[in-house]
Amino acid sequence: MISFKLNFKKNDDSPKPGDLKKNGKSKPEKSKGAQAGTPRKKDILIPYVENTSKTLVKNNGIENDLYVKHDVKRGLRNSNGTGVVVGLTRIGAVDGYKINEKNEKVAVEGKLYYRGYDVEDLVKNVISEDRFGFEETSYLLLFGELPNKKQLAEFTELLGSHRELPVGFARDMIMTAPSANIMNKLARSVLALYSYDPTPDDLSIPNVLRQSIELMGHFPPLVSYAYQAKKSYFDNESMHIHNPLPELSTAENILRMTRPTGEFTKLEARLLDISLMLHAEHGGGNNSTFATHLLSSTDTDTYSVIAAAIGSLKGPKHGGANAAVLNMILDLKKNVKDITNHKDVEKYLIRVLKGEANDGSGLIYGLGHAVYTISDPRAAILKGMAKELAVDKHLLDDFMLCDFIEKRAPSLYKEVKGTDKPMPANVDLYSGFVYNALNIPIDISTPLFATARLSGWCAHRMEELIAGKRLIRPAYICVQKNYDYTPIGKRK
């Protein structure tokens, strides 16, 4: 283990490309005192964008009735809330409702299938056999069939052999340009890997498969090193760098590389492994996977596709929701002295729904889903494992807090907002608890989601290249009326 602290200089006094020049030599800028009264570019820009943004809002608004008039499937959603069918897939299926003869959604217990296998069966099997399952899940998603022992061992060894990043990559691409947001750094790192690939634009399936396996191997150190750089530069904390070990599983390497001592228990690694399994795939219609299909249909390179998927997952309405749960729980604990006092917790949740607490969004994070109506199978699996972890970590009060939110918050939605929309606990509620119990920083909660979902993204990318073979090109109706051109001298 290497433990050290980098002292980055945030105010570098060295000459910049834009400095004044005299006799061919760079001349440093004058001090702030000498520049008094001369506004800098950024000082001019801020009031400009604040004023002109009002014009943007005025000229980009579209009336709701126009969407109805033109029968637009806003958000690619049908009028009954179901998703518009835009493709076919063999990789994953999400069952959360049925459609009756009246074209109405009928609530059913949620089910999630990977390549036709119930994810609950996959998890139960690895638990009963006391082994890690994420690598097997990744193989299943990529190749469409369960591996035998030899195939799994070979695939796991391949992933382990590609944990190490290219020579100098961590120093040049991560440590010298840290980011306050690990998802941002992850996307930039993936794009940078393009330059280290001898055949980055080759779209043959063997080459794309090679790229996929290499990326799956690289993601744990990419996330871990980006987090360590962020800690040093932005949080003023010590950096702890651990090399990945090829013989360890994905979950074990993540825990090893993100913790100062690199130590972890078997229970911790197994629970993180199951969490990765549950996040690996969620059908072709989720935003980041659809982005994978969308970009793959253009025949662009693998690195551009995965970077775009990361950008999609970063959004708080998608993968960023697990971080939102963690932040909400932190805010709850600041405002409720005793989290076992359910009356006080309920008062807090009501304030959240009214937009008076937490982030003002009016949302209780960890509840509701676009597809699941009665239950999210991933949440049910994680809840069972989370309780075991809660006992081990002496966090039963925190676990019971999540249990209370799951049971009481849906009825509060109806009481406060008058909505009858189903609000089952989703995977983010208990994955947030699990990450907190595992001392996984909020900063890497969504990057871990990306690490898991990478398997599904790569599988969908290859499916698009093999079966899609058509540029995805949806249509937009322009509702802007036409004008005659006005010469500049006659404009108001």
> Which residues does the annotation mark as catalytic?
369, 428
Q: In sequence order, which ranges of 259-376 are alpha helices (DSSP H)?
A: 266-279, 287-296, 302-314, 321-335, 342-353
* Number of residues in the chain: 492
**Dihedral angle at the C-alpha atoms of 267, 272, 274, 278, nearest 10 degrees?**
160
To which residue do tokens 């099997």 refer? 125
Q: From its phi and psi, is residue 180 left (phi > 0), alpha (psi between -120 and 50) or beta?
A: alpha
Three-class HEC string of 383-428: HHHHHHHHHHHCCHHHHHHHHHHHHHHHHHHHHHHCCCCCCCECHH
AA letter at 445? S
Do the Cβ atoms of 191 and 305 come closer than 8 Å?
no
DSSP 49-75: HHHHHHHHHHHH---HHHHHHTT--GG
Query: How many CB atoms are closer than 10 A to CB 244?
Result: 23
Helix (H, G, I), strand (E, B) or coil at 105: strand
